[in-house]
Amino acid sequence: LATTDELTQILNKRGFETQLDHELSIARRHGVGGVMIFVDLDEFKPINDTHGHAAGDEVLRAASVILQGQVRETDYVGRLGGDEFAILLPRSNKRNGLRRAQELDKKLNNAYASWNGIQIPIKASCGIHMYTSRAGLHELMDSADKAMYKIKMERKEKHGIAVR
């Protein structure tokens, strides 16, 4: 329970950072890297304000199911808090990471959460960051977060994925 998010049943921030730290030590030992994808649900506050927190919880659960369904057995999905998620793709390259982020973006932004007989659209922004064997945990989290916020701003003009 100390590493699992009670609502979504995926890793919580502590659990995700523990796995990330472990994968970074493997990256240093073997000279490999990977990809981190940061996901932030867009327009989440209006869902809570309009339909209530139970509806927001259902959107979070639906998003986590989608995220879990799009990763390999060796990848990690975590809820970092609120409406922010992260996906760690160890030993993945930039091309595959970008493809996976685009697939996630498409799946999330075409999905709905069912709550009390209504379909609530899920909207999300995804940012990716490549990491190397020299990456540090906080640097990697910060860079992926910045890439995600960059796409949130760009999305107002055009749909896409931010890469750092």
Among residues 124, 114, 19, which one has the least CA distance to residue 75?
19
Positive/negative CA dihedral, 20, 139, 38, 116: positive
CB count in 10 Å sphere of residue 4: 15
CB count in 10 Å sphere of residue 9: 12
Examine the residue annotation and report whether 83 is marked as an active-site residue of this protein: yes
Residue from 83, 105, 142, 145 carrying the catalytic annotation: 83
Order the strands of the 124-131 sheet from edge to edge: 76-81, 84-90, 34-41, 124-131, 162-163
What SS3 state is found at 98? helix
> How far lies 161's CA from each of 5, 49, 128, 153, in Å?
26, 28, 8, 11
Q: Which residues carry out catalysis? A: 83
